[in-house]
Amino acid sequence: MQPFTRSVIEIMRGIPAGYVMTYGQIAAEAGSPRGARQVVRILHAMSAAHHLPWHRVVNAKGEIALPDVEARLNQQYSLEAEGVEVDAKGRINLERYRYYSNR
């Protein structure tokens, strides 16, 4: 496993319930500020195998970025179950719910 991938997995595992991080934020903390798309690929390919809290990752606007309606609702319900408020357009207030790791 590549060091960047390992860092991304570690960062994602560290996102506590009730908080979110953005793809770009995770990429930057893992050492590749322009690697948001890589984070998306890692999340897609390794979520199940590594038990990653995929639902706690959103885009830079604080939006749920999944195009599939069922998957988007699943993410929204998972976040709301942890106390994260999601508005009618699928947005999360990043000022309130963004997590900053201590890395």
Please write the tens of the pLDDT for every residue from 34-64. Answer: 999 999 999 888 888 889 999 999 999 999 9
CATH number of 3-97: 1.10.10.10
CA-wise closest residue to 21 among 70, 67, 55: 55
Share of the chain above pLDDT 90, in %: 77
- The pLDDT of residue 103 is 56
Residue 90: pLDDT band (50, 70, 90) is confident
CA-wise closest residue to 79 among 21, 33, 26: 21
| Nearest-5° Cα angle at 14, 7 to 71 | 95
The pTM (predicted TM-score) of the whole model is: 0.90
Tokens linked to 102:
């201590």
pLDDT at residue 92 is higher than 60: yes
**Domain residues of the chain, as ranges?**
3-97
